[in-house]
């Protein structure tokens, strides 16, 4: 302790800022000098897994008002065990008000509650210093359209309960410089439709539960560069033009793909999983990297259409997305090869990867077709899965290694057991 205690307080506080708040607080017993050092920390995180909720609530009540840092870089309140009411909504309101008064830049609140109480003070929505806001399981109500989060750039709303349909819309409307929006919509009787109309938005992640009775939604984000859409609902959607979009992850039911496809043709990197093809008349002339999930019956048809519509494709990844692991034994229909070889096969495709390759006839036919027609292929990597299906690994290897290859320089690599 001797040498480290010789360091100036500013440096010691900086060192403490790299460890969990619980650890930083524990240093207060080392000496009189260390007793209050942690109270200058610019970052605070309080999690109910660190101590009993009653003790945690009392600790925050006692120490947060006396915290000495003039600017609070971040405050995290993770209180998932709050159902026993030991920490009440009014406690959360008070702590947030203190954080706002300390010019908080990042605020994260996770609060499990059975009730509909409002725990977010009105001062939060006029906090000029706030740059990042993350809310989980809280109730959103009482947001004034006259408020303004003038510096907010990142907003996460996970399983939030909305008092009415206006609450979500008003919150977005008071964020004039919002760049990153991540929303996890669960079943919510108060929300039947929603609109994301944010001209400044650059990154959007939407997760829509299949069990939600949603009438529809509309997306208008002209500056968007990244889109992640996981929509397992059966409600109509409208996506307006997104000319700056470069990357999209689209995991949707079939008709939702048809609704969104016209707005994502500018992407360079596309990850897609859908139950159906999307129709004619679209060209992905900027697409260089395609990742296709083949957990659906019609995945081979979607692959054929995307190959046809992507003349500049360089990298093709075929796999099963992690969250679709229970669908590994899908019955993808047999491969109906295109009537004419897609342009990318002889002009641009260089890398071909297949994860979770089962070696079934429909798998083999696709892989053989790509090897046979990919004139510029440099490398084909097959991650062979010999566990899900009773197909000997040696047979998998022979079927592909003995097939003809259009590219004389194509390296075929097998990786077993994935």
- pLDDT per residue over 17-35, tens digit each? 666 666 656 555 455 555 5
Structural contact between residues 173 and 200, judged by C-beta atoms closer than 8 angstroms: no
pLDDT tens track for 289-332 = 999 998 888 888 999 999 999 999 999 999 988 766 554 455 67
Name the residue among 382, 387, 274, 364 with its Cα closest to residue 324: 274
Q: Which domain holds residue 35?
A: 1-41
Q: What are the start-end ranges of the H helices in 261-323?
A: 299-308
* DSSP 8-state assignment for residue 397: H
Task: Kindly tell me if the per-residue pLDDT of 192 is higher than 80.
Answer: yes
- Measured CA to CA in angstroms, residue 406 lies from 182, 337, 342, 371, 378 at distances of 44, 16, 14, 7, 11
In a domain, 300, yes or no: yes
Cα 266 from Cα 159, distance rounded (Å): 31
Q: Is 137 helix (H, G, I), strand (E, B) or coil?
A: coil
Q: What are the start-end ranges of the H helices in 174-269?
A: 254-260
In a domain, 18, yes or no: yes
In a domain, 10, yes or no: yes
Cα 53 from Cα 55, distance rounded (Å): 5
In a domain, 404, yes or no: yes
List the beta strands (DSSP E) in 59-151. Answer: 74-79, 106-111, 132-136, 139-140
In a domain, 281, yes or no: yes
- Measured CA to CA in angstroms, residue 198 lies from 170, 193, 213 at distances of 11, 16, 24
Cα 185 from Cα 6, distance rounded (Å): 51
pLDDT-based confidence at residue 416 (cuts at 50, 70, 90): confident
- End-to-end, the C-alpha distance of the chain in Å comes to 49
What Rg, from alpha-carbon coordinates, does the chain have?
27
From 153-157, 310-314, 362-366, 414-418, the region with the lowest mean pLDDT = 414-418
Q: How many residues does the chain have?
A: 418
**Tokens coding 159:** 């399983």
In a domain, 417, yes or no: yes
- For the residues 358-376, what does the mean pLDDT come to? 91
Q: Tally the domains of the chain.
A: 2
Residue identified by tokens 């080392």 is: 30
In a domain, 200, yes or no: no
- Measured CA to CA in angstroms, residue 71 lies from 97, 170, 188 at distances of 14, 28, 36
In a domain, 214, yes or no: no
């Amino acid at each position: 302790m001797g040498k480290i205690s010789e360091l100036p307080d500013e440096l010691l506080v900086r060192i403490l800022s790299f460890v969990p708040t619980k650890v930083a607080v524990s240093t207060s017993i080392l000496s009189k000098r260390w007793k209050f050092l942690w109270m200058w920390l610019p970052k605070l995180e309080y999690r109910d897994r660190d101590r009993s909720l009653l003790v945690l609530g009392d600790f925050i009540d006692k120490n947060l008002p006396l915290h000495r840092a003039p600017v609070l870089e971040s405050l995290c309140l993770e209180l998932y065990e709050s159902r026993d009411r030991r920490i009440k909504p009014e406690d959360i309101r008070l702590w947030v008000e203190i954080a706002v008064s300390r010019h908080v830049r990042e605020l994260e609140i996770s609060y499990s509650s059975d009730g509909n109480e409002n725990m977010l003070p009105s001062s939060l929505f006029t906090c000029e210093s706030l740059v990042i806001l993350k809310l989980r399981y809280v109730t959103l109500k009482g947001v004034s359209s006259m408020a303004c989060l003038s510096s907010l750039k990142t907003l996460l709303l996970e399983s939030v309960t909305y008092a009415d349909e206006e609450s979500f819309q008003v919150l977005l409307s008071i964020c004039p410089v919002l760049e990153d929006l991540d929303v996890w919509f669960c079943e919510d009787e108060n929300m039947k439709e929603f609109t994301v109309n944010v001209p400044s938005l650059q990154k959007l992640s939407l997760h829509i539960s299949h069990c939600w009775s949603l009438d529809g939604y509309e997306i208008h984000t002209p500056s968007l560069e990244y889109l992640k859409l996981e929509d397992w609902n059966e409600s109509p959607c409208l996506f307006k033009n997104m000319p700056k979009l470069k990357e999209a992850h689209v995991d949707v039911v079939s008709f939702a793909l048809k609704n969104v496809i016209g707005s994502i043709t500018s992407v360079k990197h596309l990850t897609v999983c859908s139950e159906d093809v999307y129709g004619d008349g679209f060209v992905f002339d900027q697409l260089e990297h395609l990742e296709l999930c083949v957990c659906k019956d019609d995945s081979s048809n979607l692959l054929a259409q995307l190959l046809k519509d992507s003349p500049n494709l360089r990298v093709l990844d075929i796999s099963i997305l992690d969250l679709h692991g229970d669908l590994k034994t899908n019955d993808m229909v047999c491969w109906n090869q295109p009537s004419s070889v897609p342009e990318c096969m002889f002009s641009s495709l260089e890398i071909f990867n297949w994860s979770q390759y089962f070696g079934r006839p429909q798998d083999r036919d696709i892989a053989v077709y790509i090897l046979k027609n990919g004139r510029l292929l440099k490398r084909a990597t097959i991650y062979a899965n010999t566990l899900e299906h009773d197909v000997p690994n040696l047979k998998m290897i022979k079927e592909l290694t003995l097939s003809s290859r259009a590219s004389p320089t194509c390296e075929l690599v097998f990786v077993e057991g994935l």
